[in-house]
Amino acid sequence: MKVVLITGVSSGFGLAIAQRLAKSNYKVYGSVRNDVNPISGINYLRMDVTQPDSVEQAVKKIYEREGRIDVLINNAGCGIAGPIEFTKISEAQHQMDVNFFGVFRVTQAVLPIMRKKGEGLIICISSIGGLIGLPFQGLYSASKFAVEGYCQALRLEVKTHNIRIVLVNPGDFATNFTSNRKIIRNTDSNVIYPKFQKTLSIIKHDEQNGLNSEVLANKIEKIIRKKTPAPGYIVASPLQKVSVYLKKILPEVIFFNLLGRYYNV
């Protein structure tokens, strides 16, 4: 029975993944920051990915109980939306602290355990926004771009230890990520950037009408079962998959002109 650590299982992707793997008889440990209604098959751990001591204690507890961690799924994350100009440094730092340094802290704590065992799988939940810079989600995209570069480098560093690094890029999904997203508030932003609210309504519409979290959970389980998973997977609507492909083949000026039209900027 593989031991799996998933960060951020209180809702959304993390909860769906934890439930799916628990039903498939994995030994699932899920991190939460606050009390939740417990679900059978999930072993809950208090962990704040922005606090090094919290991360170290949670990982140590799993190792003491199980003697190994076979799979790490870096899922914990948050989002902010608004004009970059009006985003406070503290807000930007928090975005990076959760989405990028959170991945860094947890991975750094788990790697010695996997290296000692001689194998392991680390799955990092990135985003389409980690492949394409999205208007009025610039800091969110930046945090996910950072995860992309980090994983590409780490993949090369740990391959001799038989540790696999996989990036998963979800598109729009109907989760509470939409309602939990922090909106940058400034009295001048709607005047200087009058298209922000329209763009935000497009973003919200696409997410609320997006895929179900079970789609991603099923994909994660398939990745875990693969002997040699690919470096990355895009889990999104056909249109969003096409957009990633177009970014690769079109001149940048043409692609971002099309993207701007879609988001009304």
The domain spanning residue 146 has which CATH number? 3.40.50.720
Mean pLDDT of the residues in the chain: 96
Instruction: Point out the catalytic residue in the list 10, 31, 141, 143.
Output: 10
Asked if residue 173 belongs to a domain, the reply is: yes
* pLDDT single digits (tens) 65-85: 999 999 999 999 999 999 999
Which residue range forms the structural domain that includes residue 161? Answer: 3-238
Helix (H) or strand (E) holding 151: helix 138-158
Asked if residue 97 belongs to a domain, the reply is: yes
Which residue, chain included where needed, has tokens 């771009």?
145
DSSP state of 69: -
Rg (CA), the chain: 19
Helix (H) or strand (E) holding 207: helix 196-208
- Measured CA to CA, the distance from residue 61 to residue 40 in angstroms comes to 19
- pLDDT beyond 90 at 120: yes
Asked if residue 257 belongs to a domain, the reply is: no
Instruction: Point out the catalytic residue in the list 31, 126, 143, 243.
Output: 126
Say which range, 7-16, 34-43, 90-99, 237-246, has the weakest mean pLDDT: 34-43
Asked if residue 244 belongs to a domain, the reply is: no
DSSP reduced 3-state for 170: strand
| Number of structural domains found in the chain | 1
What was the pLDDT predicted at 221? 98
pTM of the model: 0.96
- Cβ atoms of 95 and 151 closer than 8 Å: no
DSSP reduced 3-state for 75: coil
Q: Is 126 a catalytic residue?
A: yes
What was the pLDDT predicted at 21? 98
* pLDDT single digits (tens) 45-57: 999 999 999 999 9
Instruction: Point out the catalytic residue in the list 140, 193, 233, 263.
Output: 140
Instruction: Point out the catalytic residue in the list 26, 29, 31, 144.
Output: 144
Q: Is 263 a catalytic residue?
A: no
What was the pLDDT predicted at 188? 78
Asked if residue 248 belongs to a domain, the reply is: no
Asked if residue 262 belongs to a domain, the reply is: no
Asked if residue 256 belongs to a domain, the reply is: no
Asked if residue 255 belongs to a domain, the reply is: no
Q: Is 226 a catalytic residue?
A: no
- pLDDT beyond 90 at 187: no
